[in-house]
Amino acid sequence: MTELNSSPAPIRVRIAPSPTGDPHVGTAYIGLVNYLYARQRGGQFVLRIEDTDRARFVGTSEQMIFDALRWLGLAWDEGPDVGGPYGPYRQSERTEIYRKHAEMLLANGTAYRCFCTAEELEASRKQQMAAKLPPRYAGTCRALSAAQIEENLAAQKPFVIRMKVPTEGSTTFTDELRGEITFDHFNVDDQVLMKSDGFPTYHLANVVDDYLMQITDVIRAEEWISSTPKHVLLYQAFGWPIPRFWHMPLLRNLDKSKISKRKNPVSLVYYRQAGFLPEAVLNFLGLMGGGMPADINNATEKFTLAEMVEHFDVKNIRTAGPVFDLTKLKWLNGEYIRALAPADFYAALRSTVLSDTYLSEIAGLVQTRVETLGQFGDLTHFFFADNILPVQEVFLPKKRTLEETLAFAAEQLAVLEAVDWSTEALEPTLKKLGEEKQWSVKENFMLLRAIVTGGTMSPPLLESVIVFGKARTLDRMRRFLEAQKGQKK
């Protein structure tokens, strides 16, 4: 008989996305692996929102993360919206916890206050660059005396709290997929843990939360490997046990570079709005080196989430960067679509690209512009088509060269990527860009109209792109630019 008290700690994993924009396919990928790992072991899957970087915070992003993960069917057991015993699960609600923990490190000498000003840091960085040294904190405040610290505090000098990384030696940790990884301390900077605004950095908040939330396995993307030695040093500074680390390979574009919006749509909102089925997206992500045996279902590449839970095996995870091949995803999606019963296919259309909400919003844009109901399609086909590419006669303004037009279109894309998706925000943003680049309002809007609608006439442009959605509009603009690049060659 097994002794009850000898059973290992129950598995607890988490994903910790930052609400900095649209939910990313990478979040779904890492979410899927965490989900499978937890489900297979009867463990708990936690969703934590890491929103301490106020400069990059986007208010609508958190809800979009919830919606996208739910759409995919990756249900979490604990999180900001469902609660749980280790909450709050939103880091901005835990600042007091981090502050106390930073105090603990100050008290035990593993962290220190740094009063260096931005100018001082910049000057030292320049010196290091000139000497061809890796830029890192020079350590000026590491050895301040108690009296100097008191003096600075009394003078109300702003400070950050830094981690005191040993100057010699190295830190080794085990990556469950790669084996031992060692970082020489020379290459580990005295990381800022608390910023002068009282907010923690990612590193402190992440370690404190993983410990307090009793996370047993940190399964995240490999881009965090270089942060892990800092995290291990922090666990040691607190005297806490170190969780297992699994660094999943990064998704790659076809050319093997890290997946990026320039080469692939990366927003989950895009996939949903463009009519990908969640089953196909999950299946596709499951094929991404994510631990599925090659031969389940007699070597077909199609499997459901339940089958993935059954067959997932960490031994099958390959660390070579899996390629996110959109052509393959489309093929797989087509397979799923063809397998739907006709009524389900219709229901899928009606809940996405032909939903009541979408249709009624579009109807609202054209009612005053048609003489017969039959003309509805003439004015609105670009809302329903996927492949819209205007010809040069349509998109090129009379007085502009192709080159300057494409450059301006790229600028439009860049400003629209950063803007809130509302007419109030879109209009001044585009106009400001036009003024800066000396493009008339007419040229500016006609170009965008051509790219989005494929023509020179359309329902009101900005209202139309609002209804069409940010993710799909940006995708259309990127595809336009890509197609033009292809033609120029």
Q: Report the interface residues with ligand GLU, using CB under 6 A.
A: 16-18, 50, 202, 206, 220, 224
d(CA 130, CA 124): 10
CB of 17 to ligand GLU, least distance (A): 5
For 2, the 3-state DSSP assignment is coil
Which residues 6+ apart lie within 8 Å of 139 measured at CB? 190
| Residue 14: its H or E element | strand 12-15
Q: Work out whether the CA dihedral 219, 224, 229, 231 comes out positive or negative.
A: negative
CB of 216 to ligand GLU, least distance (A): 14
Q: Is 261 a known active-site residue?
A: yes
CB of 252 to ligand GLU, least distance (A): 17
Which residues 6+ apart lie within 8 Å of 59 measured at CB? 19
| Residue 175: its H or E element | strand 170-175
Residues in the chain: 489
CB of 11 to ligand GLU, least distance (A): 16
Residue placing its CB nearer to ligand GLU in the complex, 231 or 449: 231
Longest Cα–Cα distance of the chain, Å, equals: 85
Residue placing its CB nearer to ligand GLU in the complex, 17 or 80: 17
For 160, the 3-state DSSP assignment is strand
Catalytic residue, candidates 157, 164, 258, 261: 261
Residue placing its CB nearer to ligand GLU in the complex, 120 or 175: 175
CB of 204 to ligand GLU, least distance (A): 12
Strand blocks (E) in 222-260 = 244-248
Which spans in 53-114 are helix H? Answer: 61-72, 95-108
- Among 230, 181, 222, 170, CA closest to 206: 230
Could you give the residue numbers annotated as active site? 261
